[in-house]
């Protein structure tokens, strides 16, 4: 899987999905649309008349509600003249155990990893939870379309797990971010404790906070009532997001495939076990 994934990531990073690059943004949207639709998602592209970086709204399973909400974005920060890259920013490069390139940590590597894991599960005939997947294209320019559309898109999905675009390791230890209701499983265990046990054998550090952002986030600002916001992922504090020589650890990224697959298994079992998905 990893070899094919890296080939796909090379092509995805090569797309300069910055504001004003209509050709690259259209290519990214078409690419994501086709892969999601092939997996059985009902996909809508919203805002094409207003921006060259529209929003993808993808639904899987029960259209009346989703216990799982995923968030990602395909746009990247512009490369500024003062940046000093050791390799071309839109050419994915592997060195020193890391992958280098604009947008590889924020957020293209995780976005494609999630797609790849879901594709593998579908190919194996394994269960997926019903989900709403919001993939926006304007995060790096203030997300005007998402701020307008997310309230209506998210409002119906009460008592959901809302999963951030990525997460972090600090000093080699994983972090899990949480914000929202103290949702519990059927036996009274908190979902965060259950997830920590499933993913990291209980060794992750749990922080009550959100992923640090460079401006207001339309997901965080519009969390559905009764929902739990969570973040976990393969980034670390060497990623240099929004700066030159942005990178991601290849080892942590490879581990993320297993972690996200475990997460989907955990979520599928959880929603089957609860009378109301993820109910408080």
**130 DSSP assignment:** -
Integer Cα distance of 137 and 199 in angstroms: 29
Strand partners, 271: none
How many helices (H) and strands (E) the chain has is answered by 7, 13
Which residues are the active-site residues?
75, 139
Q: What is the pTM of this model?
A: 0.94
Residue 218 contacts residue 205 (beta carbons within 8 Å): no
The tokens for 160 are: 């959901």
pLDDT in 10s for each residue of the chain, 280 residues:
689 999 999 999 999 999 999 999 999 999 999 999 999 999 999 999 999 999 999 999 875 556 899 999 999 999 999 999 999 999 999 999 999 999 999 999 999 999 999 999 999 999 899 999 999 999 999 999 999 999 999 998 888 899 999 999 999 999 999 997 655 555 557 889 999 999 999 999 999 999 988 889 999 999 988 889 999 999 999 999 999 999 999 999 999 999 999 999 998 877 654 434 433 3
Domain definitions of the chain by residue range: 2-273
Report the CATH superfamily, name and number, of domain 2-273: Zn peptidases (3.40.630.10)
* Helices 109-124/22-38 angle, 10° precision: 20
Q: How much of the chain is in helix, strand and coil states, percent to nearest 5?
A: 35, 20, 40
């Amino acid at each position: 899987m990893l070899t094919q994934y890296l080939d796909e990531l090379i092509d995805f990073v090569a797309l300069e999905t910055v504001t004003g690059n209509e050709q690259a943004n259209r290519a990214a949207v078409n690419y994501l649309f086709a892969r999601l639709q092939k997996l059985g998602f009902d996909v809508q592209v919203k805002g094409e008349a207003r921006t060259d970086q529209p929003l993808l709204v993808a639904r899987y399973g029960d259209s009346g509600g989703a216990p799982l909400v995923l968030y990602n974005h395909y746009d990247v920060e512009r490369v500024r003249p003062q940046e000093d890259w050791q390799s071309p920013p839109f050419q994915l490069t592997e060195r020193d155990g890391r992958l280098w390139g604009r947008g590889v940590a924020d957020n293209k590597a995780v976005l494609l990893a999630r797609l790849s894991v879901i594709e593998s599960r579908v190919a194996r005939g394994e269960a997926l939870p019903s989900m709403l997947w919001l993939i926006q294209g304007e995060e790096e320019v203030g997300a005007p379309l998402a701020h307008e559309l997310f309230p209506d898109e998210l409002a119906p999905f009460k008592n959901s797990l809302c999963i951030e675009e990525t997460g972090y390791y600090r000093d080699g230890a994983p972090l899990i971010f949480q914000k929202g209701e103290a949702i519990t499983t059927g036996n009274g265990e908190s979902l965060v404790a259950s997830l920590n046990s499933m993913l990291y054998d209980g060794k992750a550090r749990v922080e009550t906070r959100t992923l640090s952002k460079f401006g207001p986030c339309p997901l965080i600002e519009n969390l559905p009532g009764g929902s739990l916001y969570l973040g976990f992922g393969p980034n670390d504090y060497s990623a240099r997001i929004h700066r030159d020589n942005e990178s991601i650890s290849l080892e942590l990224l490879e581990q993320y495939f297993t972690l996200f697959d475990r997460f989907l298994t955990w979520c599928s079992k959880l929603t089957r076990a609860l009378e109301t998905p993820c109910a408080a």
